[in-house]
Amino acid sequence: MSNSNKYVVSIGGSNVDIISRSKKKILIGESNISEIDLTAGGVIRNIAENLCHLKHCCYLITVFGDDEFGNYLKNNCKNSGININHSLNTKLGNTATYLSVNDHTGEMLVAANDTKILENLTPEFLSSKKSLINDAEAIVIDSNLSKNTIKYILNNFKNKFIFADPVSKTKSSKLKKYLSFINVIKPNLEEAKFLFDLKSIGTGDLKALSLSLSKKNVEKIIISLGSKGIISFNNGEIKKILTKKQRVQNVNGAGDALMAGLIHGHLKNWEWDYNVKFAISMANISLQSKSTVNSDLSEKKVLKFLNENIL
């Protein structure tokens, strides 16, 4: 396969994001004056859009409802360059929706999601896309998928390079049995503690953390520490990487940009440590946008941020 024909298949959630940001410190039990935005979102859809901004071909396999939100998402995907020809359209459920309440600093206080429609993305449906998935340079999935669908993907495409996003501690349980099938996984700290049984190990003891992760038979792990940076684990080698503090517009989508950066580096055959720094830079640029995906993103801008800010 020539470089020009490389593509990624992204399988998982797409939803409309309703994001509120309070003008002042939030008062519980009160109606807070806020800015409220509606944007296209969903972990896998966000990753796909970020990849398109980096000039990659990306096929999105997701589910759209037969409603206004579904039409909105499909139009947004097409305008962003995401190929949705292999996605499912159904009248069996409403298009997935995500609601986030952020404080005046941009940090999320609470969120709610309705992704039931993804239950229609079954192993039977994906079996009809087997040829497309088999020819992909990489596959990325999220835990919004059903347990059976995740099992199908990880059992039937073991020869592919697979990225996985746990999405949340609760949903990440679907991945726990299949960690050895995943090449790169990107949990936050709470998800990592659950997935790898790290409850008694803190991030301050990297040696103990590395020993524990080495026993789990996972190739590469990025543990997101939010504003404190990330922990990178690669076949026994562990590092903590920090970034400079900056003004945050919106934390939603930063983790998806991080994952897209990791995929970008894989497609370009970059050395792992450099790839991780690029991915962190992606996440930081995402934080600077009110939208879930920063439409001003490009490889050139990410590299500029990397050279100026990554320690």
Between the alpha carbon of residue 304 and those of residues 123, 180, 229, 301, the distances in Å are 42, 35, 18, 5
Q: What does the pLDDT read at residue 2?
A: 39
Cα 238 from chain centre: 21
Between helix 43-53 and helix 68-80 the angle, nearest 10°, is 30
pLDDT, averaged per 10 consecutive residues of the chain (311 residues), comes to: 74 93 92 92 96 97 97 96 97 94 88 92 97 98 96 96 95 94 94 86 77 86 88 92 75 90 97 95 88 89 91 65
Token representation of residue 287: 């934080």
User: What φ, ψ does residue 8 adopt, rounded to 5°?
Assistant: -115, 140
Q: What does the pLDDT read at residue 107?
A: 83
SS3 for 271? coil
Domains of the chain: 3-309 (3.40.1190.20)
Between the alpha carbon of residue 100 and those of residues 31, 64, 151, 226, 228, the distances in Å are 15, 21, 29, 17, 22
Q: What does the pLDDT read at residue 35?
A: 92
Q: What does the pLDDT read at residue 1?
A: 35
Between the alpha carbon of residue 220 and those of residues 3, 17, 37, 52, the distances in Å are 24, 30, 35, 24
pTM tops 0.85 = yes
